[in-house]
Structure 1
Amino acid sequence: MATDHAPPPVEAPARLLLPQILPALLVGVGASLLFLGISALAEKFQHVLWNDLPDALGIGNHSALWTIIMLTATGIAVGLVVWKAPGHAGPDPASEGLGGAPLAPGVVPGLLLASTLALAGGVSLGPENPIIAANIALAYWLGRRAAPSVPGAAWVALASAATVGALFGTPVAAALLLSEALVGRPGRGSLWDRLFAPLVAAGAGAMTTELLAEPSFDVGLPPLTDPGFGDLLAALVIASAAALFGLVSCFLFPHLHAAFRRLRHPMVMLPLGGLVLGLLGALGGKETLFKGLEQTKELTASIGAWSSGELAKFAVVKLLALLVAASCGFRGGRIFPAVFIGASFGLLAQALVPEVHPAVAVSSAVLGVLLATTRQGWISLFTGAALAASPAMLALLCLASLPAWLIVTGRPQLELDHEGKALR
């Protein structure tokens, strides 16, 4: 009986790949410059709001009162943008993951303004989702006009890869993310042929970031040089426990989102969400504000200085802040705050069991929380390994990801469909 065999992938000749280099380089550099520009603007505005202004008023810049005032004011400001800006600053962020269909170019200014205000105002969200959405919209719009014969999906892939490369400061993260996305998709040529132009874009974005700014994910953990069975056991347990902790947010998300949606108007949802975030910030302290990456570095720079109670408070408050910010309509991503949640959880485990190596504790916990909140296996593994900055951690994290993935797979995600139901 004859059997059919799938034909081997057709290799793309070099003459088809070479013309892709220049557009990919342009998209890569442009995506990185937009990311760096928005980040720099948000940081300057943050300094004004949280340092210059309270100093001028004679108010403590991270006092409970100022925290509540600032987060509520940020909710009002973002609410005005979402209400009045063309396209309402993009779709409901609760139903948007990384990437997605290109937005109309007219939506991009409102989306970037809402994201910048949230970043500067202390909202517990990162820049990744709005920046990727903006770069996709601009690359798609400009690319379709400059080269109408190029499929629109190609510009989307270039912009996504370029922005991920810029965000992480390396093209490896983009390659992992795209390889996961391309699995099972029809297309001619080998995987590396299809990744060729996106990797050029990711490399250009990463190099632009490296040349103009410091790497983002160096948190200064002590390196793990000689892992043993005890380290493996700790990684397995901590990653699984962190995945369970992260799943709590996934189960709560649709209910909290539905509660805010009942308020209907952005000028009610966002100011109220800002007030709740202010109260949470007053409870958790300044460490639980903003996107969380700089605060993660502060935690890891003073290992042993925080009590287990303080670290538990940081993890719980940041988790609730992420949920509120994502539910009430603030524009932003969830990877950066999830890293802080994982770092707090890992340092809590290390505080309870001091024999656990800090790199094992933090990297494994970040891996578990990211698996639960993003369902991006490669990105979760890459981020955990990048935080440890130790090749010895990679094997431990690969093994630790297996039970953690069994815990999260098939469970509700931290993303909703357009009816408000959790994706699985």
Structure 2
Amino acid sequence: MDSTEQVPAGPTVRQLALLSIPAIAIGIGSALVLWSVSGLAELLQGFLWTTLPATFGADEATPWWIFTVLTLTGAVVGAVVWLMPGHAGQDSATTELSGPFPGLKALPSLTIVVVLSLAGGVSLGPENPIIAINAALSMALLARFAKVPPEQIAALAIAGTIGALFGTPVAAALVFTGMVGALKGGSLWDRLFLPLAAAGAGAATMDLLGGSKPSFPLEPMGELQPVFLLTGLVVAAASALLGIAAAWAFPYVHRTFHALGNPLIFTTLGGMVLGVLGILGGPITLFKGLEETGELLTNPDAYSPGQLAAFAGIKIVALLVAASAGFRGGRIFPVVFVGTALGLLGYALLPDLPISLAVACGVMGITLAATRDGWLALFIGAALVGDVTVLAPMCLIVLPVWLLVTKAPELVVSPPSAGVSVMNPDRR
């Protein structure tokens, strides 16, 4: 570096202290929005899958009921996207956690379709739309009163929502370390201070509200054996390859549905396809996948290798269809379910591979392919199984898997888009 070049100064202690107030407020607000939307979806889910089918002598596993609910969910979501103001914001297939984010007029329709999708059994998670809602609300409420750039406010909303989603600020901190390289001035912890404040507030608020956490402790790995590195790599690489295959197919599936033109048509058709997939896979392959992941891990020996392979295949196809057919939702929770099924498959097929390492590597591989974020993939894999001893082999296994995914297609469709993006704030 040129000795005459000055490094920009980081924020002062006073600035960090003052800005932590809106950061904590954003974190609390983000958790409240997540809790409210999730609560509405759970109430509607109980009505659609327990109360209502009972009046017709059916239940959540009845094939004709699965097909009917998902088809009608597709029709209603398609009508909302087509007719309501704002059209439910950007197509979730084209957005990442960092945006771009919609305007305020899109938030009512976006909230409706995410509640319908979560309750109706669509294989998408809440992360993308909830982050979009929180970012849009935070920018609208705070941009006028706080001298903070909109992209920084959006970043705090992302951190707060991630903290609430995963029940810990660590996940948000790891995500934001990947973004720090694009920011100038100050130390790493100066840059992480406000996102951690928002994420911590979001996580604590969600915990106080009784929110669920994506953690299902399994039998610990025990003492590391050299063979674990090889068998774990096999599971992680196979999982990543499935994610790469899905990413390759994603734009083609998306283009096929959207060629039909009208959201009412292609989202209804998507609901019908999801209904057929739901009949084939059963209730465990429906919904965002978090509770279903817990169901797999609660009794892992209850499923044959064939069943686990079928669960993974059906869920990844359902994710592609749901994301391509105009539903609004995130891709992380469904791929965690897929990775869990693949990890359990590896545990069943590879002798002496510990179950915690098998599941952690299965989740890490496909999450890495889907998000291109090594920190997040490592965190989710280790946190899901509740075993810190898997981190050491995972940190080695992730390296060749990263080489596998780094130049592969991404699990996102990327047409020109508008809105504020944290990673590219000039894109509007």
TM-score, length-scaled by structure 2: 0.94
Counterpart check, 1:288 vs 2:282: no
Tell me the residue number matched to 2:206. Answer: 209
Tell me the residue number matched to 2:159. Answer: 161
Checking the alignment, whether the CA contact within 8 Å between 2:41 and 2:116 is kept in structure 1 is: yes
Once the two structures are TM-superposed, the CA of residue 21 in structure 1 deviates from its matched residue by: 1.6
Please give the alpha-carbon distance, in whole angstroms, between the structure 2 residues aligned to 1:204 and 1:117: 28
Checking the alignment, whether the CA contact within 8 Å between 2:90 and 2:102 is kept in structure 1 is: no
Tell me the residue number matched to 2:255. Answer: 258
Alignment of 1:403-414 (within 5 A): 403-414=400-411
Tell me the residue number matched to 2:422. Answer: none
Alignment of 1:362-381 (within 5 A): 362-381=359-378
Q: Which moved more, 1:221-230 or 1:102-111?
A: 221-230
* Partner SS, residue 291 of structure 1: coil
Once the two structures are TM-superposed, the CA of residue 215 in structure 1 deviates from its matched residue by: 3.9
Checking the alignment, whether the CA contact within 8 Å between 2:45 and 2:120 is kept in structure 1 is: yes
Once the two structures are TM-superposed, the CA of residue 155 in structure 1 deviates from its matched residue by: 0.7
Once the two structures are TM-superposed, the CA of residue 261 in structure 1 deviates from its matched residue by: 1.1
Please give the alpha-carbon distance, in whole angstroms, between the structure 1 residues aligned to 2:14 and 2:115: 42
Tell me the residue number matched to 2:24. Answer: 25
Unaligned runs of 5+ in 2: 418-428
Of 232, 235, 240, which residue of structure 1 is paired with 2:232? 235
TM-score, length-scaled by structure 1: 0.95
Checking the alignment, whether the CA contact within 8 Å between 1:236 and 1:399 is kept in structure 2 is: no
Tell me the residue number matched to 2:169. Answer: 171
Once the two structures are TM-superposed, the CA of residue 186 in structure 1 deviates from its matched residue by: 3.8
Of 350, 369, 377, which residue of structure 1 is paired with 2:347? 350
Tell me the residue number matched to 1:111. Answer: 110
Identity of aligned residues (%): 47
Checking the alignment, whether the CA contact within 8 Å between 1:249 and 1:319 is kept in structure 2 is: yes
Please give the alpha-carbon distance, in whole angstroms, between the structure 1 residues aligned to 2:354 and 2:393: 12
Please give the alpha-carbon distance, in whole angstroms, between the structure 2 residues aligned to 1:31 and 1:186: 24
Please give the alpha-carbon distance, in whole angstroms, between the structure 1 residues aligned to 2:103 and 2:283: 36
Give the aligned residue type for 2:192.
Answer: L
Unaligned runs of 5+ in 1: none
Checking the alignment, whether the CA contact within 8 Å between 1:125 and 1:322 is kept in structure 2 is: yes
For residues 316-367 of structure 1, give each alpha carbon's deviation from its aligned partner in whole angstroms, at most 9, with x where no partner exists: 0001000000111100000000000000011111111242111111100100
Please give the alpha-carbon distance, in whole angstroms, between the structure 2 residues aligned to 1:6 and 1:283: 63
Give the aligned residue type for 1:92.
Answer: D
Tell me the residue number matched to 1:418. Answer: 415
Please give the alpha-carbon distance, in whole angstroms, between the structure 1 residues aligned to 2:75 and 2:105: 22
Please give the alpha-carbon distance, in whole angstroms, between the structure 2 residues aligned to 1:214 and 1:64: 31
Please give the alpha-carbon distance, in whole angstroms, between the structure 1 residues aligned to 2:59 and 2:151: 49
For residues 347-395 of structure 1, give each alpha carbon's deviation from its aligned partner in whole angstroms, at most 9, with x where no partner exists: 1111112421111111001000111112122111110010121111111
Count of matched residue pairs: 417
Please give the alpha-carbon distance, in whole angstroms, between the structure 2 residues aligned to 1:6 and 1:360: 47
Q: Which moved more, 1:318-327 or 1:7-16?
A: 7-16
Once the two structures are TM-superposed, the CA of residue 5 in structure 1 deviates from its matched residue by: 7.5
Once the two structures are TM-superposed, the CA of residue 60 in structure 1 deviates from its matched residue by: 2.9
Tell me the residue number matched to 1:124. Answer: 123
Checking the alignment, whether the CA contact within 8 Å between 1:55 and 1:61 is kept in structure 2 is: no
Please give the alpha-carbon distance, in whole angstroms, between the structure 1 residues aligned to 2:158 and 2:257: 30
- Which runs of 4 or more aligned residues in structure 1 lie more than 4 Å from their structure 2 counterparts after TM superposition? 2-9
Checking the alignment, whether the CA contact within 8 Å between 1:238 and 1:361 is kept in structure 2 is: yes
Please give the alpha-carbon distance, in whole angstroms, between the structure 2 residues aligned to 1:80 and 1:110: 10
Once the two structures are TM-superposed, the CA of residue 120 in structure 1 deviates from its matched residue by: 0.2
Please give the alpha-carbon distance, in whole angstroms, between the structure 1 residues aligned to 2:9 and 2:67: 59
Please give the alpha-carbon distance, in whole angstroms, between the structure 1 residues aligned to 2:328 and 2:100: 16
Checking the alignment, whether the CA contact within 8 Å between 1:111 and 1:130 is kept in structure 2 is: yes
